[in-house]
Amino acid sequence: MVSHRMADRGFGSRKDHERRVKTICRECMVGCGLVAYLKDGRIVDLHGDRDRPVSRGRLCAKGIAFVQGLRNPGRIVSPGYRKRIGEPFGGPEEWEAALDLCAESLRKIRDQHGPESIVIGSDRDWDLEFAVGAARFARRLGTPHLYLSPGAQSAFAREPRAVPPSREWGKSRCIFFIEADMAVTHTVGFGWALEAQRRGAILVAADARFTRTMSRAHSSLTIRPRSGNLVGLALAKILLEEAPHSSYVQLGRWADEEKRDAFFEGLEWQELEGRIGLDRAGLKKICDLLRENSPVVIVTGRDLSALPHCSIWSSLAAGMGGAGAASGWYPLHPAAPPLDPCLGMEGEPDHPVEDGPPLKEVLASSKAVLCSGNFLGSRTPSHASEDPLVVSFGPFPNATTDLSQLVLPSTLWPEESGLCFSADQEILWGEQILEKGGECRSSLELWAGLARRFGWEKDFPWINGDGAADPAAFAQWLLENSPGTRGCKWEWLRGTGGGATSIFWPFDGGANRLEAADPIPIPARLEAAAGVTVQDDFPLHFQKAPSISRSEESGEWWPGVRDLEPEDGVQIHPETAWALDIETGDEILVTGPVGSLRGRAWLSRMVPRWMVSAPMNSVGERVRIEKPGRPREETLNLLKELLR
């Protein structure tokens, strides 16, 4: 008799604990189940929840290591104020007093310089509560300068479309990753792709840096950074040229076929090849792979959703056909349902910020900036005018808090209950694990507090009768007001953190009937290449290594991982480095059109010869590297010689 005995994947903790919380890990939004054990208000043990279908008890390193960030001595736990940057921070030390100061300062600036002098921004694309609150506050204040991260903006604009849930990928025959390093960003979700591979599916990956996802792929291609959507256009062009009767072309959601044909005929192969970094033959191989191995799941990276021509994936996915849920487009950006954040408010919708002046100019003439995350650090290195008032809201010090006068401490996700949406488009409720400490508050409490001080409570529907912010009220408001979730009740979500219930959006369990999404309009011509045109001075491409943690830069505060990727490490291909006489560890300067940064060289074949990559703030899409002591002309000439 054959023994099938397999050890239980595990449940329970033998560590001394007082209570147990079943919740959802909100580090990356695969939505893994998490069971935490607490004693004396601290987490003593945790593991994955095997009842959650998407994760089946697994938990990646982020889901375990976040605990180290919670009690890190470097964390900001009380507000701080200083008159000038560079001075040490002083009081007020209570949240309410700090908010009084914030509201009073904003009011003064608004009265003196007008509401357009105030900029509100966030670079955290998963903080839906902050984004909604910010949009509503900006509308009441009367400022058009609202800069949300590309992920949040695309969440607000997102159409109510279903994605192929990862646990169905076993039925696909091909999974195509385009500038999506899912093995790093959505680790447990990537386990499903490997499961599909075990069942005979092929994995195809295209990216600039050689990623872990690519190392597992059957077929991988190196493309220029941020050219992912152009690859989609190139694939569509090949299909139109060679297989106009295929389902990819016939079923694509084209608004106007004549315009489509005109657009694609106007696309020059030379330009496409130059911008993607691959020739037509290479792209055709990929195209053939996809056609021969349907059903196909296309996984696109977070940044692609913010770049032009992203809608091509919707068109291609519509023709992917195959066995029901096992094909389609799976974007890796926050899967919040479509929502008008200012629903129910008076006033005109704000003009999209792309039509306005660039952020750098706006910041240079602003008098106040209210932001979360590393908004300033990632957007601009400095201001031109005298220091505006900068108020930043976050859990850890970063480049933005260095530029701030007022710093407000925020909670981390384990310290607040909240609504969340997984990448599979599941609607989930993450139960709070432990109490917040110090003077930390949530995004909802920030906006509720400011709204109360301005008398705008009516416009913030999550403020309850006592004036406090209620996450359940926010959840209920959002669920009712998004066409993707209308009909879903918050009470039903209570079980999702601790059981096998899965509720997906678009939710049509109620009488809610979604209108079929509009066909995608075709642009008249290809978007001009962004970035600097003076490529002689900046011969290398630059890619910022993405932040993978919802606990922001707390990755720096997890001692176990700090050694793995040095925060000032600049990855350079060995051939490029040797041509410039650079060894690993050497101090180098990375210069772009926007500024320059110091770092240490880290030779690695993970980057192609024509690119460098670093977790540091971007100084431009094109850069040069310099070794101190060597004349710039000589370096540039060597680089050009190498890259020819």
Partner 1 sequence: MRPVEQSAVRDEFLWVDSSRCIGCFSCEAACQMEHDLPPGPRPIRVIQVGPLQNGDGLFMEYQPATCRHCTNPACVAACPRGAMQKKGDEIVISDPAICVGCQTCGVACPFGMPQLNPSQGKISKCNGCAERLAHGLSPVCVLACPTEALSFKTPDSHVQEVRGRTASVLRRYSRFK
Q: Which residues bind partner 1 (CB under 8 A)?
A: 1-12, 14, 45-48, 55, 57-61, 63-65, 67, 183-184, 187-188, 190-191, 194-195, 198-200, 210, 212-216, 220, 559-561, 564, 604-606
- Rounded to a whole number of angstroms, the minimum distance from the CB of residue 1 to partner 1 is 5
Nearer to partner 1, 202 or 419 (CB): 202
Q: If DSSP codes are grouped into helix, strand and coil, which group holds residue 314?
A: helix
- Phi/psi at 43 (5° precision): -80, 120
- Rounded to a whole number of angstroms, the minimum distance from the CB of residue 146 to partner 1 is 36
- Rounded to a whole number of angstroms, the minimum distance from the CB of residue 552 to partner 1 is 19
Nearer to partner 1, 48 or 338 (CB): 48
Nearest by Cα to 257 from 311, 315, 209, 299: 315
Q: What are 407's strand-pairing partners?
A: 80, 392
Residue 543 CA, chain-centre distance (Å), reads: 15
- Rounded to a whole number of angstroms, the minimum distance from the CB of residue 535 to partner 1 is 25
Q: If DSSP codes are grouped into helix, strand and coil, which group holds residue 146?
A: strand
Nearer to partner 1, 35 or 155 (CB): 35
Nearer to partner 1, 369 or 423 (CB): 423
**Structural contact between residues 353 and 322, judged by C-beta atoms closer than 8 angstroms:** no
- Rounded to a whole number of angstroms, the minimum distance from the CB of residue 59 to partner 1 is 5
Cα-Cα end-to-end distance for the chain: 66
Nearer to partner 1, 65 or 318 (CB): 65
- Rounded to a whole number of angstroms, the minimum distance from the CB of residue 557 to partner 1 is 11
CA distances, 144 to each of 67, 218, 359 (Å): 38, 47, 12
Those residues with Cβ within 8 angstroms of residue 519's Cβ, 6 or more apart along the chain or in another chain: 253, 254, 255
- Phi/psi at 561 (5° precision): -105, -5
Nearer to partner 1, 43 or 342 (CB): 43
Q: If DSSP codes are grouped into helix, strand and coil, which group holds residue 414?
A: helix
Nearer to partner 1, 38 or 479 (CB): 38
- Rounded to a whole number of angstroms, the minimum distance from the CB of residue 612 to partner 1 is 16
Q: Give CA–CA dist 438/574, Å, rounded.
A: 47
CA atoms within 13 A on the CB side of 82: 15
H helix intervals, 427-484: 443-454, 471-481
- CB-CB neighbours of 639 under 10 Å: 21
Compute and round to an integer the Cα radius of gyration of the chain: 25
Nearer to partner 1, 33 or 133 (CB): 33
Nearer to partner 1, 62 or 161 (CB): 62
Q: Which residue has the tokens 């191989």?
A: 285
- Rounded to a whole number of angstroms, the minimum distance from the CB of residue 215 to partner 1 is 4
The DSSP string of 572-603 is E-HHHHHHTT--TT-EEEEE-SS-EEEEEEEE
- Rounded to a whole number of angstroms, the minimum distance from the CB of residue 15 to partner 1 is 8
Nearer to partner 1, 531 or 574 (CB): 574
Residue 71 in tokens = 């009690």
Nearer to partner 1, 44 or 162 (CB): 44
Environment class of 593 (CB within 10 Å of its CB; exposed 0-12, middle 13-18, buried 19+): middle
- Phi/psi at 636 (5° precision): -60, -40
Those residues with Cβ within 8 angstroms of residue 248's Cβ, 6 or more apart along the chain or in another chain: 236, 239, 291, 316, 319, 320
CA distances, 252 to each of 58, 182, 521 (Å): 37, 26, 12
Q: Give CA–CA dist 206/235, Å, rounded.
A: 13
- Phi/psi at 176 (5° precision): -110, 115
Nearer to partner 1, 346 or 563 (CB): 563
- Rounded to a whole number of angstroms, the minimum distance from the CB of residue 46 to partner 1 is 7
Residue 85 CA, chain-centre distance (Å), reads: 29
Nearer to partner 1, 7 or 528 (CB): 7
- Rounded to a whole number of angstroms, the minimum distance from the CB of residue 642 to partner 1 is 17
- Rounded to a whole number of angstroms, the minimum distance from the CB of residue 9 to partner 1 is 5
Determine if residue 425 is left, alpha or beta; phi over 0 gives left, psi from -120 to 50 gives alpha, anything else beta. Answer: left
**Structural contact between residues 235 and 174, judged by C-beta atoms closer than 8 angstroms:** no
- Rounded to a whole number of angstroms, the minimum distance from the CB of residue 362 to partner 1 is 40
Nearer to partner 1, 47 or 145 (CB): 47
In one-letter notation, the amino acid at residue 398 is N
Q: Give CA–CA dist 360/175, Å, rounded.
A: 39
- Rounded to a whole number of angstroms, the minimum distance from the CB of residue 605 to partner 1 is 4
Nearer to partner 1, 181 or 439 (CB): 181
- Rounded to a whole number of angstroms, the minimum distance from the CB of residue 254 to partner 1 is 30
Residue 423 in tokens = 């990448």
Q: What are 427's strand-pairing partners?
A: 421
Q: Give CA–CA dist 419/490, Å, rounded.
A: 9
Nearest by Cα to 213 from 243, 241, 189, 242: 189
Residue 225 in tokens = 């950074």
- Rounded to a whole number of angstroms, the minimum distance from the CB of residue 8 to partner 1 is 5
Nearer to partner 1, 469 or 614 (CB): 614
